[in-house]
Structure 1
Amino acid sequence: MYSQVKEDKIPLKIALAKLEEVYDIKFSYSDDVVRNKNVFIKDYKVSLDLILQNLEKQSKLIFKKSTSRYFLILEKNPINNYSLCGYIKDRYTKKPIEGVSIYNSEKTVGSISDLKGYFELRGMKEGDSFFIAYTGYKTIKKKVISFNIRKCNTYEIEEYSAELDEVLITSYLVNGITKNKNGSIGIRPQLRDILPGLTEPDILQSIQLLPGIVSPNETSSGLHIRGGTPDQNLVLFDGIRVYNPAHFFGMISAFNPYIIDEVNVLSDGVGAQYGNHVSGVIDIRTNSQVAKETKATLGTNLTHADAYLQMPLWDKASILISGRRSLSDILETSTFRSLARKVFQNTIIDQNEKSDVDQVFEKDNNFYFQDFNTKLIFDIGEKDQLMVHQLFVSNKLNYSFGLTDGSFLQNDRLNVKNFGFGANWLRKWNKKLSQKTTFYFSDYNLDYKFNGEQNVDPVLTQGSIKKNSIKEFSFKTELENKFRKNHQISYGFELINNDVSYNLGRTYSFSPESNYNIEEVSSSTIYALYGNYVYEKEDKINIRIGLRNTYFSLENVFFVTPRLYTQFKVFPNFWTNFSYEKKQQNISQIIEFSTNDFGLENYVWSLSNKNEIPILKSDQFSSGLVFRKNDWMIDVNVYHKKINGLTSLGQSVATNANIIANGSSTSKGINFLLKKRFNDYTSWISYSYGDTKFTFPQTNEGNPFSGNNDITHRLRWSHNYKVGNFDFSLGWVYRTGIPFTEVLERNNNGTQEFFFGDINGRRLANYQRLDFSSTYQFNISKNRKWKGKLGVSFLNMLDRSNKLQRSFFLTSDENFNTVLGTTDTVSLGFTPNVMFRIIYN
């Protein structure tokens, strides 16, 4: 409701604030310009143009419209008529920034950048200084050296954040992906350019484009980092460990990318604060600052829909809420059908779908997934901050198949959930000393049930169950002391308690003696003391030394493990680095065969013990070099990693004897990345050579053999191009086929025999895929608060049928002779997707 003011004059600055509120506009001015100026506004209901004309007469100032929402307030008759022009861009993303204030404090004139980041600053002369300021960014000061009416300079500003001081390369693959000084790769989904085949910033799929990281089975969650397996990675979401990081049996990341502020991916140089893993770390963090304004998004693609809201509760508190849900049980799209063919192939669902007697069978496959996140942020005084957050991830499958007359029915129910709750307390004791205390509770549950019934004489029933549960509690507190310039030390204590159980069982009404039930329940507590020392001098020297002391209660063992990462600038634009680390892990996945005929989720989590499943232990060395100059960048890294404590229960090592074997793996390789930017076009080539060998003393006569997912060569060539509001990305990937153990047959004196060939002695055909994606961004409202984004992607554009896995089985031919059969798991076929999103900011 607009109101009239009294007929007394009021300070111009107060009148401007009222106009900003009433008309949703912004004024840019110097305080000196409006100081001691009083005005009278009779009615705020009249048009804005009339009000501004009146204010110009009263104040003797100029009100200049810069954009539809921004206005400049300038003095009349500046000393001269020189005009300085330029473009403002984000140093981190290279994108233009609208609404930046550019002003000359001496002459009290200013300007505001438009949608393209362009500005003009009048009333300048050579030798004058001007400032560039924008909320959340560092203010910079520049001097006018000379005027060139034909050229407008570009000025880059950076966010006011200590995290940016950690960045070595601001655009590693594309904008929004950085290489940090500690060796980690940072991904900021909201700033990330599109990648081949991805219109949305899916976290786990984005990580697969990094050198040295691959998903052999084409899933989002199946990340093999430098020869390690997915269960050897540590995945954290706001500090909460997540044991089920994906939807739809690994095909889609379980994390809503639109609420994520930053992801740090560490494949080497991992600090001592990270424990209980032997491979990589994926540390996902949502926004940690109190929101000052409301932001919201609503979007959908051909697999799921999502919504996100971030809003202030009061000056020092805000809330974040997000949710996603699949559309598969409501609308079956071409994208979902393509993903389903990939997921359900070679399972009981696929076999039934191929049944040629549809007229007498009924089939129902009801599947959906969802996730939900909330976060509360409180600034308690000037020294304390409290964050409380929650996550929920759920996948449900209800599949039934049977005769229409009800004489035969089978039903498979699968429910996989991951719930997490945590809190972070940050305390700044003084300028040098701060403390971070966190705790979380994580609850992972997998519940599968199968029932089969034959309701004719004889009545037969069959059932199976598979349950897996992890209840994890963690408490951690850490002190950080910047005791001298360039020196920092941190030390902390961590406690992790795990209750892990699994239950596997099968019942047969026609053969009760074959019934079985396997149940394992175990509990472990981990106590750790750790410390990190950091010496860092700009981008010239970076030394990080860590030490972690860990006690595992279940195994009653104690480990002292060092961590080291160093980086030195040896020449201008040239850095070299080296890292070494030892790690342990007491929880991993093992294969179960009780529900193998179902064909999905055939792994269960288990704690280590003193017998079949030892504690995993790893040692890793790595060394590399980085070169960057102008728009060229080269990154080369070599590594050697050994993991002890592997078990054939977890690696599915094919043997001629039904035994449980323990062994080790050795991985070595080189990762190479070359990138060049040409204005709005960027191209990069990455190549990875890897060699992972397994050694099991009781297998293959103790000789090494290729690991199950060993990929020797991997080459990726990607392109990004931006024109106007359009972004395009094209990528081609080529890699060596994965190894498999061939089953052979021979005739021994008239008897057909089947036997294993060399373990992982053969390889599938080489893999190739071409992906494309494009997005278009546009404004929906005139004030640019409402924006839209439209995208399209094509995975495997050439529809190649790549082989991902091969298995063998025995069957009978039409003459009832035993013959050898082969089953191949193939890649995704041509998979299109479309995305539409509305953004309010």
Structure 2
Amino acid sequence: MSLVFSVSSQNNLKKTEDQIPLKELLSSIEKEFDVRFSFDSELIEQQQCFPFDKEETLEEKLKFLAEETYLDFSKLDARYIVIKKRAPKHDISICGFLIDEASGLPIANATIWVEGKSIGTSSNEKGYFMLDKLMSDWVIRIDYLGYYSLENSVYKLIDIDCIQIPMAETNEELEEVLISDYLTQGMSKKRDGAIRVSPKNLGILPGLTEPDVLQSLQLLPGVQSPGETASDLHVRGGTPDQNLVLFDGIKMYESGHFFGLISSFNPYVTKKIEFYRSGTSAKYGDRIGGVLDISSGDAVPEFNAGFGLNLLHADAYVKTPLFNDKVGVILSGRRSLTDFWNTITYQKFSESVFQNTRIVQDETEGANDITNVNNSFFFHDYNLKVITDVTENDKLVFSNLYNNNNLEYYSENERFNEINTDNLAIKNRGSDLKWMRNWNEKWSSHLEINQSNYQLDYAGIREITRRNPENSSTNVFEKYNNVKDVGLKLHLTNRINEVSTWQYGYELSKNEVSYIFDNSNNNNEQDQIFESDNSQNRTHAFFTEYSLSKDQKWNLNLGLRANYFSVVKQLYLEPRFFVSNQLNEAFQLKFSAEIKNQVISQLIEFRNNGFGLENEIWALSDGDRIPVLNNYQVSAGFLFQKDGWNLDIDLYNRRIDGITILTEDVANRVPQYLAGKSTTNGVDVLLKKRFGIYRSWISYTLSKTKFQYDQLNDGEKFDGEYDIPHSLVWSHTLMLQKFEFSLGWKLRSGTPYTKGTSIEQTPRGSYRIVYEDEVNKNRLPVYNKIDLSATYKFALSKNGTTHGKFGISLMNIFNTRNILDRNYEIKTERIGQSIERTLVETDQISIGFTPNLVFRVDF
């Protein structure tokens, strides 16, 4: 909802929906005064006006309409009146002071922008704002979370001194949003503890020229990406597969492109993201970690389209209403340029992704001998959404997505008569259909059917040809992983009164999971492995949740979820609790507790015989080798807000039972599943302050994650695989008219690792690495990186309806060499008639200095 502010009376705030078509007002004048209007129908077709108030005479009413519409009403004679469009005026400047209507206090950080143009600013701590170089026929809009939006035409503000503009609170939004501009513009914190992100309004972030959905969350405390990817979000000691990621209701089993370096979600069709680190609503199930609920919106959109290009990919989108705004269509597509445009950004990304794989080994170890190389990599995605307003109370929404990553590699080594072939495809497809209905003022329902299909398909061949056929070999390795997910959801909402709501729901989901490891064609019998699994699970889930928001002081969510997993034939209860209390204007206390369970998760496969990019597989729990994951988490903290300062602190304790790794029993050549538990204790701190056009924030996490397995480390606890005790992010943004700049510094502890010490021969004649007895007692060096971004927005048409953006990002501007991971492998080399085996330490290095450029046009 929006209001129109009047310059003649500061308290005269009118609702935009109270306006009526200009045609109706002209018709009433014609009947009342026996006059006739002459005009071009297109001129007034979209014009809306408020009804007459105190105007009585014909002259008074014509003057009122002229002020409302910026049209000329010229009398030809006593009866005929001609309506013409006024020539727009240029270079208009306006200013004002935003104040709270009730208290009279200034409102800082509100967004003032020109509708349909890339022109805008923010109010300072005194509520002051100014815009210049405007045209008289433009419309100014003022937005601030927790308040009704305001709008007015520029021509109504011409020659008006800086006025006080009161903004009225909206109870609905105040109940939902606690802090606007939580980190930056477009990111807010809801009263239930969730972080909401609006990519369209998201301010510039360090190292990014475009609003990447997943990378923006890594600036929050408690969210890490040890591997420096966008999609691998580790939330408070958890792993990425423990996060529930939904896109328009579709479960995502793969959420990254370029092996996770960028998000697979197009930010230009994404309307909002809600992210939970704890205190999760009972309506979310199936995962034990964070929740990332991404939506492209369920309202029929206004027309909007655009396209863009950077040094990795190109994209285009269109949003349009159809059939008198009863139907809306959203369509977007992206495709990488990497298979035919070898940009510097692609080169840097490739160096990071393909290091320590066959691709780099071939190119570095025998660069002069490699011929007929074909390294083709590309990704693409598309989204389609159709929104239909069937009636005033019924809405049908259909969504569909398709994400695909493909790698084809082929090389020949003429000197050694070797041929390598690798083909890898990773796909995630899905669709969702939902019917939403408002039965009355108190009851509403949400019925949803969805499906998701994830597929990983890898085939690798290494052929070695020798003069003596006995010395020739062919090693073939295949890996296949498929997840099919089908679900049905029914949610009912009962709005008991203005302060309390009760939700009920039932969900049925079916998971079919299969995977295959096939190395049976390997010439070396000792290394032959064949393993497969094909299982399924049905989950019946019921949930109920009571929500209370009273006097803007108390906020309470009390929920219970019950899951029955058919694969283990067991019922799991999941109580959820979140409460906050606003002690005064500055302080808020908060507490949450939750239990969650997960029946499908990813295993890390350490017997990888591929080329190093496909060693994670989805598998179903079986209650034995792979137990159901159980999560117990409590958190408590406080929030302080005063004079533009925000301090948000959360302390938490988390325990996960059933975490499983897939290792290898070397002596018996039998796969072994090890199940254990982890504990994480930590504190998340966020400190933010805005100084006019400059904003700075620091997010810091102090945490400790410990693992424990009966069969490892003599049963003693050891540092978790991705334990990062200290993590600091310090970011800065600066707005200078059409320019935006952002600088960010990331500093964190290195991850732990176990050092390899020697090589030994097994009873069956093969060789293995001997590691230190104490697991993960060593730690990699400190991670340190500085990123920089800058953008410039400009108009491409005189009326500003078509606008563009040019941006540049510089990742790791000092080219710091950060070690992300450390592994050990056995290298075999023939020297004369003997074979030498060497233990080699291999480091995974972070991406170096990487520039990127972006150009966008929206209309």
TM-score by length of 2: 0.83
**Deviation per CA, 1:5-40, whole angstroms, max 9, x where unpaired?**
xxxx9777999996583599968676459988599x
From 635, 641, 647, the equivalent of 1:628 is 641
**Deviation per CA, 1:473-517, whole angstroms, max 9, x where unpaired?**
010101100112311100010011001000110143645686443
- 1:780 maps to 796
Identity of aligned residues (%): 36
In structure 2, give the amino acid aligned to 1:301.
N
In 2 relative to 1, CA 832–452 (structure 1 residues): closer, same or farther, beyond 3 Å?
same
In 2 relative to 1, CA 386–62 (structure 1 residues): closer, same or farther, beyond 3 Å?
closer
- 2:312 maps to 303
Q: Secondary structure at the match of 1:260?
A: coil
- 2:601 maps to 588
Question: What's the offset of the Cα at 1:461?
Answer: 2.8
Q: Which range is displaced more, 252-261 or 530-539?
A: 530-539
1:828 aligns with 2:847: yes
1:767 aligns with 2:783: yes
- 1:45 maps to none
Question: What's the offset of the Cα at 1:56?
Answer: 12
Quick check: 1:96–1:117 contact (8 Å CA) kept in 2? no
1:664 aligns with 2:683: no
Q: Secondary structure at the match of 1:536?
A: strand
**Deviation per CA, 1:257-288, whole angstroms, max 9, x where unpaired?**
01011101101110111111111111101121
d(CA) in 1 for partners of 2:429 and 2:36?
51
d(CA) in 2 for partners of 1:532 and 1:67?
56
From 540, 543, 548, the equivalent of 2:556 is 543
d(CA) in 1 for partners of 2:798 and 2:511?
54
In 2 relative to 1, CA 525–469 (structure 1 residues): closer, same or farther, beyond 3 Å?
same
In 2 relative to 1, CA 651–418 (structure 1 residues): closer, same or farther, beyond 3 Å?
farther
Q: Secondary structure at the match of 1:206?
A: helix
In 2 relative to 1, CA 331–378 (structure 1 residues): closer, same or farther, beyond 3 Å?
same
From 661, 672, 692, the equivalent of 1:648 is 661
d(CA) in 2 for partners of 1:56 and 1:177?
58
In structure 1, give the amino acid aligned to 2:853.
V
In structure 2, give the amino acid aligned to 1:313.
L
In 2 relative to 1, CA 284–309 (structure 1 residues): closer, same or farther, beyond 3 Å?
same
d(CA) in 2 for partners of 1:818 and 1:201?
48
Quick check: 1:211–1:673 contact (8 Å CA) kept in 2? yes
In structure 1, give the amino acid aligned to 2:316.
A
Question: What's the offset of the Cα at 1:662?
Answer: 1.7
Unaligned runs of 5+ in 2: 1-25, 63-68, 101-105, 117-128, 153-158, 762-766
Q: Which range is displaced more, 482-491 or 209-218?
A: 482-491
In 2 relative to 1, CA 753–680 (structure 1 residues): closer, same or farther, beyond 3 Å?
closer
Question: What's the offset of the Cα at 1:408?
Answer: 3.7
Quick check: 2:243–2:289 contact (8 Å CA) kept in 1? yes
Q: Secondary structure at the match of 1:271?
A: coil
- 2:119 maps to none
From 579, 582, 587, the equivalent of 1:566 is 579
Question: What's the offset of the Cα at 1:294?
Answer: 1.3
**Deviation per CA, 1:768-823, whole angstroms, max 9, x where unpaired?**
00011111111111121101111111110110000000112233687965443211
- 1:810 maps to 826
- 1:837 maps to 856
- 1:387 maps to 397
d(CA) in 2 for partners of 1:200 and 1:664?
38
Unaligned runs of 5+ in 1: 1-8, 42-47, 71-82, 101-112, 121-130, 143-147
Quick check: 2:639–2:648 contact (8 Å CA) kept in 1? yes
In structure 2, give the amino acid aligned to 1:21.
E
**Deviation per CA, 1:140-190, whole angstroms, max 9, x where unpaired?**
799xxxxx99754355578x8955640000110001000110001000000
Quick check: 2:606–2:664 contact (8 Å CA) kept in 1? no
Counterpart mapping for 1:696-707 below 5 A: 696-707=709-720
In structure 1, give the amino acid aligned to 2:806.
L
d(CA) in 1 for partners of 2:131 and 2:161?
21
From 711, 714, 718, the equivalent of 2:731 is 718
TM-score by length of 1: 0.85
1:282 aligns with 2:292: yes
Quick check: 2:664–2:672 contact (8 Å CA) kept in 1? no
d(CA) in 2 for partners of 1:52 and 1:651?
86
d(CA) in 2 for partners of 1:644 and 1:782?
62
d(CA) in 2 for partners of 1:237 and 1:830?
32
In 2 relative to 1, CA 161–204 (structure 1 residues): closer, same or farther, beyond 3 Å?
farther
**Deviation per CA, 1:565-596, whole angstroms, max 9, x where unpaired?**
00001122210100000000000111235543
Q: Secondary structure at the match of 2:519?
A: strand
In 2 relative to 1, CA 149–822 (structure 1 residues): closer, same or farther, beyond 3 Å?
same
Quick check: 1:87–1:117 contact (8 Å CA) kept in 2? no
Coordinate RMSD, CA, aligned = 4.0
d(CA) in 1 for partners of 2:438 and 2:341?
51
From 436, 449, 452, the equivalent of 1:439 is 449
d(CA) in 1 for partners of 2:562 and 2:527?
47
**Deviation per CA, 1:416-474, whole angstroms, max 9, x where unpaired?**
11110111111101001111111101011111112233466526433121111011001
From 260, 263, 281, the equivalent of 1:253 is 263
- 1:153 maps to 164
d(CA) in 2 for partners of 1:267 and 1:256?
23
Q: Secondary structure at the match of 1:331?
A: coil
From 351, 355, 361, the equivalent of 2:371 is 361
Quick check: 1:742–1:757 contact (8 Å CA) kept in 2? no
In 2 relative to 1, CA 523–149 (structure 1 residues): closer, same or farther, beyond 3 Å?
closer
Counterpart mapping for 1:225-240 below 5 A: 225-240=235-250
Q: Which range is displaced more, 221-230 or 400-409?
A: 400-409
Q: Secondary structure at the match of 1:340?
A: helix
d(CA) in 1 for partners of 2:746 and 2:718?
26
In 2 relative to 1, CA 371–360 (structure 1 residues): closer, same or farther, beyond 3 Å?
closer
d(CA) in 2 for partners of 1:232 and 1:623?
22
d(CA) in 2 for partners of 1:774 and 1:155?
34
Question: What's the offset of the Cα at 1:612?
Answer: 1.1
d(CA) in 2 for partners of 1:480 and 1:210?
31
d(CA) in 1 for partners of 2:36 and 2:661?
76
1:518 aligns with 2:531: yes
Quick check: 1:98–1:114 contact (8 Å CA) kept in 2? no
In 2 relative to 1, CA 15–490 (structure 1 residues): closer, same or farther, beyond 3 Å?
farther
Q: Secondary structure at the match of 1:661?
A: strand
